[in-house]
Amino acid sequence: MIKIQNVSKRFGDYEAIKSVSLSVNHGEIYGVIGASGAGKSTLLRLMNLLESPDHGEVIVNDDSLTRLKGRRIREARQSIAMIFQQYNLLGNKTVYDNVGVPLELSKVPRQEREDRVMESLQFVGLDHFKDQYPAQLSGGQKQRVAIARALVNQPKVLLCDEPTSSLDPNTTAEILTVLKRINENFGVTIVIVSHEMEVIKSICERVTVMANGEVYETVEIEPAGIQKIDRSAQGFVERLTHGGDHHA
Ligand SMILES: Nc1ncnc2c1ncn2[C@@H]1O[C@H](COP(=O)(O)OP(=O)(O)OP(=O)(O)O)[C@@H](O)[C@H]1O
């Protein structure tokens, strides 16, 4: 469960997030969509305090991240994993070592580390690539390694920042299938930021449309609800995406 309550964030004079409130249910796959500069990534980064808010409260899994301090905040943040558009793998480490990084940081003993890394790699179907380096992999494979790394600490929440935006449609579908399996098999709550309505529609239960640092609307995506999105939100999103309604 994630609760964002009246959260604001400024970068200098620019107000990137303007008193935003939203709530993601436990076990939900939730989308955030909007044009470039709408504040989607900033909102996502506020959910694990990669950005700290100027005002408001961020609650994840019943912990108020904005109130916790020291060790307690580090523990709370360990249950929140993140993946990125550009994968953020370490080029000088093998696939195996990349996936093991979070376990090394949290000082998990070697044998347990080995088991968990291999389990994670098997889950994304890349155990036989364990000795390769990121440069030897395709974009989809790199994202699957990043997903294995995100899973290795058994997170409750997975934040995805444009996870398929550098991938072709087939690879996009593969990655979305992996995310769906993570949600179904482990009950992980997933938040996906994307500018692609097709991605959001294919996997999310609800979507928040952001515009100019604010929530424009939040709608449900169910078989019967897709029409509602088509009428109310998608036109708006397309206008934003193609109309350059950006603050700059
Ligand atoms: N660290 C930062 N310093 C200064 N300005 C920032 C910083 N991070 C984001 N911004 C600005 O805040 C606004 C929102 O950025 P954000 O990345 O959240 O938007 P977005 O909707 O994710 O867009 P995109 O899809 O282009 O990434 C943008 O105008 C951006 O330039």
Give the pair of three-digit tokens for residue 215: 């929530």
Asked whether 7 and 20 are in contact (CB, 8 A), the reply is yes
Tens of pLDDT, residue by residue over 113-154, are: 999 999 999 999 999 999 999 999 999 999 999 999 999 999
The pLDDT of residue 239: 57
Residue nearest to atom 1 of ligand 1 (CA): 11
Query: What residues make up the domain containing 103?
Result: 86-154
Among residues 154, 181, 213, the one where a domain terminates is 154
Q: Let me know whether 104 and 220 are in one domain.
A: no
Distance 114 CA to ligand 1 centre (A): 38
Residue 21 scores a pLDDT above 50: yes
> Average of pLDDT values for 182-189?
96
Distance 39 CA to ligand 1 centre (A): 6
Task: Show the ligand 1 pocket: residues with CB < 6 angstroms.
Answer: 11, 16, 34, 36-42, 195, 247
3-state secondary structure of 178: helix
Q: Let me know whether 109 and 205 are in one domain.
A: no
Count of domains observed in the chain: 2
Terminal-residue alpha carbon distance, the chain: 34
H/E element, 209: strand 206-211
Tens of pLDDT, residue by residue over 211-231, are: 999 999 898 887 654 445 555
For residue 35, report the phi and psi dihedrals to the nearest 5 degrees: -75, 170
Q: Let me know whether 145 and 217 are in one domain.
A: no
> Average of pLDDT values for 199-208?
92
Q: Which atom of ligand 1 is nearest to the CA of 247?
A: 29
Q: Let me know whether 71 and 109 are in one domain.
A: no
Q: Which residue has the tokens 């709608």?
A: 219
**pLDDT more than 70, % of the chain:** 90
Q: Let me know whether 170 and 241 are in one domain.
A: yes
Tens of pLDDT, residue by residue over 59-70, are: 999 889 998 888
3-state secondary structure of 57: strand
* CATH label of the domain that carries residue 188: 3.40.50.300
- Secondary structure, 3-state, 70-101: HHHHHHHHHCEEEECCCCCCCCCCCHHHHHHH
Residue nearest to atom 3 of ligand 1 (CA): 11
Asked whether 101 and 93 are in contact (CB, 8 A), the reply is yes
Q: Let me know whether 113 and 97 are in one domain.
A: yes
Distance 13 CA to ligand 1 centre (A): 13
* Among 136, 101, 244, CA closest to 126: 136
Q: Let me know whether 69 and 93 are in one domain.
A: no
